[in-house]
A and B are shown apart, each in its own frame.
Chain A
Amino acid sequence: MIDSGNTAWILTSTALVLLMTLPGLALFYAGLVQAKNLLSVLMHCITIAALVSVAWVVCGYSLAFEAGNALIGGLGRVLLLGMERDSVFAGTALPESVFVMFQMTFAIITPALIVGAFVERIRFAAVMAFTLLWLLVVYVPVTHWVWGGGWLAQLGVMDYAGGIVVHVTAGVSALVIAAMLGARDGFPTHVRPPHAPWMVMVGASLLWVGWFGFNAGSALGAGADAGMAMLATHLAAAVASLTWLVIEKLRFGKPSLVGFVTGTIAGLATVTPASGFVGPLGGILLGLAGGTLCFLAVDLIKHRWRIDDSLDVLAVHGVGGATGTLLVAFLAVLPGGTGVNAQGGMASQFLVQLAGVAAVAAWSALATFVIVKAIAMTIGLRVSKEAEIEGLDFTAHGEKAYNP
């Protein structure tokens, strides 16, 4: 039976999550790059949105959510054939069309996150090819494993809104493609600073608000679960931001805006897998953990390992998502009791969570490696040195961001 209240909320959440990509993430990333590459980043995000939308309907949704086997879904909903206007998605009070759309927005933002790893030097054709292949080989199967009744769901992995499905997949894949692509010209000693820190904040703000759709929408209904998910999500964002602020103040003497909003995203990524399972205190703790660990991760990957994951996708999303997923075991409060996993307790749930994170990280890394290799050997991965110096906006898209 379709419930109009639930449906209304998920329709709204769908819009909020799409807003996270368009223009939230687009602006967040665009502000961090040089002005000559601003448009290329916006282009990556919006073209990925369009491309994934089509692929999702053609076969992504079916392979993720149709009954299949432990590894992949079935072809029963290819091109959404068989879905009627008033079909209900099983286990919910939502029209299936709404569920398709809601999940589509997740499928859109996940490859869009990876944009941060390859900005300012990747070929546009490679972005399109990579996105399509990655969606089908990584995102869709992993979605099936965790949310579509696949083997990780059967194992008992708890991922409320995508700590594993979205943040671990994107984060780990980002590191792999960044390492294979090679660093930007001048990295690490002569990288240019973000051209528009204000834009980063505007993007992050849209992400913060949109994340209410991401996490509270994952309740798939309008009720207490959504309310608590929103509360925990919001607190994690606020606390992680403040944590980053304090760390920067202590370390550099001045708390920065770019740092603060990076903390915001770190907190949001960390709370994502736990958002519907925890209470407000859980949100606060996840914010603290995310803010701290992601700060250390940025430092480790950029400054010690010297891998040019340009916009810190692994450090913020990968580390945040993994951390939150693991902490679910200790912070989740299931209805009717305290602690989690009535069958086995926190320790066994932790191992299950760890298995989920590890398996997905490994698959993401392996698949990304193969996809990137294939692209490098066929259409080519990286623009020429001259194009990189002139900037992608003009060389790839024939446009300039600012005309007097």
Chain B
Amino acid sequence: MKYITAIIQPHRLDKVREALGALGVHGMTASDVYGYGRQKGHTEVYRGAEYEINYVPKTKIEIAVADAQAEAVIEAVTEAARSGKIGDGKIFVVDLAAALRIRTGETGSDAL
């Protein structure tokens, strides 16, 4: 199994969800994060004082998939999240050692 983490533009979340649904992936975790890459941040001004905000808000999604599906999922997320501009984000993939469905106790790919 693979554990796929994608940092994407927050407004792309719905499109990514639809793309995953079309592939039969019916679960993911999303969280609000902030970070920076080539997008450095921006300056805000309050009462004449400049504040360097060196972080950009992003959405992180995490998906557990079977090995066979991994490539298709990565492609689907990439397609859905890409706008072509700096700030589109990144995808990271790690090997997933185990997975378990809490309600039923199913393990492995049955849990995904």
Contacts and interface: CB of A to CB of B under 8 A. Distances in A.
Contacts of B47: 258-259, 262, 298, 302, 312
B48 A193 contact: no
Contacts of A258: 46-47
Contacts, number: 34
Nearest to A299: B48
Nearest to A311: B47
B45 interface: yes
- Size range of the interface on A? 20 to 34
A339 interface: no
A298 B53 CA distance: 22
A194 B44 CA distance: 10
B49 A256 contact: no
Interface in B42-57: 44-49, 51, 53
Interface string A383-401: 0000000000000000000
Binding site secondary structure of chain A: helix
Contact of B48 (A194, A254, A303): A303
A269 to B, nearest CB: 15
A178 to B, nearest CB: 15
A329 B82 CA distance: 65
A252 interface: yes
Contacts of B45: 248, 252, 254, 256
A190 B53 CA distance: 10
A194 B51 CA distance: 10
Interface in B13-51: 44-49, 51
Contacts of B46: 193-194, 197, 256, 258-259
A258 B51 CA distance: 14
A259 B48 contact: yes
Contacts of B48: 248, 251-252, 259, 295, 298-299, 302-303
Interface size class of B (residues with CB under 8 A): under 10
Secondary structure class of chain B's binding surface, majority of residues: strand
A191 interface: yes
A192 B47 CA distance: 13
Contacts of B53: 193
A262 to B, nearest CB: 6
A191 B48 CA distance: 13
B42 to A, nearest CB: 12
Contacts of A193: 44, 46, 51, 53
Of B46, B49, B51, B53, most buried by chain A (CB within 10 Å of CB) is B46
B51 to A, nearest CB: 4
A167 B49 CA distance: 23
Contacts of B49: 188, 191, 302-303
B46 to A, nearest CB: 5
Interface in A236-258: 248, 251-252, 254, 256, 258
A394 B53 CA distance: 25
A312 B46 CA distance: 12
A264 to B, nearest CB: 13
Contacts of A256: 45-46
Contacts of B51: 191-193
A400 B51 CA distance: 25
Nearest to A315: B47
B56 to A, nearest CB: 15
Residue with the greatest number of chain A CB neighbours at <10 A, chosen from B46, B48, B49, B51: B48
Looking at B45, B47, B53, the one whose CB has the most chain A CB atoms below 10 A away is: B47
A281 to B, nearest CB: 28
Interface of A: 188, 191-194, 197, 248, 251-252, 254, 256, 258-259, 262, 295, 298-299, 302-303, 312
Interface of B: 44-49, 51, 53
8 contacts: A191-B49, A191-B51, A193-B44, A256-B45, A259-B48, A295-B48, A302-B48, A302-B49
Given A192-B51, A258-B47, A298-B47, 12 more contacts: A188-B49, A191-B51, A193-B44, A193-B46, A248-B45, A252-B48, A258-B46, A259-B48, A299-B48, A302-B48, A302-B49, A303-B49
Which 7 pairs show the lowest CB-CB distances between chains A and B?
A193-B51, A258-B46, A252-B45, A193-B46, A299-B48, A194-B46, A298-B48
